[in-house]
Amino acid sequence: MKTVKVGLIGFGTVGGGTVDILKNTLPEIQRRIGQTVEITIIAMRDLQRTRPVDTGDIPLTDQASDVVNHPDVEIVVELMGGTSVAKSLLETAIRNGKHVVTANKALIAEHGNELFALAEKHQVMIAYEAAVAGGIPIIKALREGLAGNRIEWLAGIINGTGNYILTEMKQPNADFYQVLKTAQELGYAEANPTFDVEGIDAAHKLTILASIAFGIELQFDKVYTEGISRVTADDIRYAEQMGYAVKHLGIASRTATGFSLRVHPTLIPDNVLIANVNGVMNAVMAYGNHVGPTMYYGPGAGAGPTASAVVADIIDVIRWKHQPTEDRVPALGFKADQMKNQPVVDIDEIETAYYIRCFALDHAGVLAKITTILADYEISVEHMLQEPSTNNSKDATLVMVTNTVKENKLNQALQTLQALDEIDGEIMRIRVDALG
């Protein structure tokens, strides 16, 4: 049986999971491809540290350059993360004629345009299924499974850590930072968990999904990005009382004036399927003009699910590597010379409904004053909930869901409200979307 030699850079959560699958599921892989896969070398930073996965007699190195320059390695699997060192290593690998498999969404979202061009020039593949939504084969589904459609929009819960935190915050007395710590221990979080909490990781993933869905270049810097750090357990509870779940969504859609690319917390009616995706699970909805609405669900982070996608990519590369470049599935689903850029609409221009939560002096007439100001901006209140003041606070909590309104008008109304003496603290607003 022919042997394909693979070199790994990174032996952490995903690297460990990948070695584990390649060791323990090899007979099944051999049955699929009629070839065998050998891990020829693994790079990591610290060779002294005890690892949970046994590497047997696989040579180890603390020099990642040993992998990308290894004469026998045909496929370099990059599972180290980061953008600068990883980019230069992969450029070397590509120039050395090696195919690349990576789980690194930051690298693909920020430097994918250049890396794919370089790979095409050197006639090698870059496979990156593990970069989005962990174990869900969403890249393949969008790029190949839905290729007969014009994708109109997609929306997804694409950060497992964020969804895990929002789910756990429903427990009484849950502490945001304690829940984040557990997500880190479970191997879900990025090396810098701010990426998860502030929406950057989801923005990386949305950049990739939007590019594949619409045939546009990767444009990470144009994604509007808001994380979950300002969402409180009370917001989640109020939303529930009004029939909504709070989810952190990545949304990409076609509009009359361009593409809308945004990542932010969103209230979704609780009877919509995706509103019930909890814990580390991810889900992506994609609407194709022929197929209509579709949804893909599965674990979004962690060793097993992510490594499952890495190994599927290794298998794909082995199956396709002898095909001429022009016959392979293009990296972003559309031929490189057919990628079309169109304007990305400013967040101020989107139209949606909003959840507003504020603390207002518990006096007669205050509510009327607030709703009058909203009405001045042609904003009506569709649902409202009020919690009276308590012994500890003279403020009542007012929670409202508005009609659909342009974001800049909502912002002007909130500025006016914020300036009132009767309003205490910062007004919270979360976008509301019924997703279809």
Q: Does 188 bind ligand HSE (CB under 6 A)?
A: yes
Q: Does 80 bind ligand NDP (CB under 6 A)?
A: yes
Please tell me which residue in 87, 98, 205, 222 is annotated as part of the active site. 205
DSSP 161-204: HHHHHHHHTTSTT--HHHHHHHHHHTT-S-SSTHHHHTSHHHHH
What is the C-alpha to C-alpha distance for residues 359 and 88, in angstroms, rounded to an integer?
51
Binding mask 143-182 for ligand HSE (x = CB under 6 A): ----------------xxx---------------------
Instruction: Return all residues near 89 (Cβ < 8 A) that are at least 6 apart.
Output: 9, 64, 65, 67, 68, 76, 78
Q: Does 384 bind ligand NDP (CB under 6 A)?
A: no
Q: Of residues 116, 188, 244, 354, which one binds ligand NDP by CB under 6 A?
A: 188
- How many CB atoms are closer than 10 A to CB 289? 11
What is the C-alpha to C-alpha distance for residues 343 and 257, in angstroms, rounded to an integer?
7
DSSP 236-261: HHHHHHTTEEEEEEEEEEEETTEEEE
Q: Does 112 bind ligand NDP (CB under 6 A)?
A: no
Rank residues 258 and 279 by Cβ distance to ligand HSE and give the closer one.
279
Q: Does 137 bind ligand HSE (CB under 6 A)?
A: no
Asked if residue 43 lies in contact with residue 61, where contact means CB atoms within 8 angstroms, the answer is yes
What is the C-alpha to C-alpha distance for residues 313 and 310, in angstroms, rounded to an integer?
5
What is the C-alpha to C-alpha distance for residues 374 and 367, in angstroms, rounded to an integer?
11
Choose the binding region for ligand NDP from 8-16, 136-144, 236-244, 369-377 (rule: CB under 6 A): 8-16
Q: Of residues 4, 7, 8, 10, which one binds ligand NDP by CB under 6 A?
A: 10
| Binder of residue 333, out of ligand HSE, ligand NDP, none (CB less than 5 to 8 A by kind) | none
Q: Does 190 bind ligand HSE (CB under 6 A)?
A: yes
Q: Is 205 a catalytic residue?
A: yes
Helices and strands: H and E segment counts in the chain: 14, 17
Q: Does 110 bind ligand HSE (CB under 6 A)?
A: no
* 347, 350, 356, 360: CA torsion to nearest 10: 70
Rank residues 202 and 370 by Cβ distance to ligand NDP and give the closer one.
202
Q: List interacting residues with ligand NDP (CB under 6 A).
A: 9-15, 43-46, 49, 64, 79-81, 85, 103-105, 130, 134, 187-188, 190-191, 301-302, 306
Q: List interacting residues with ligand HSE (CB under 6 A).
A: 134, 159-161, 188-190, 196, 201, 300-301
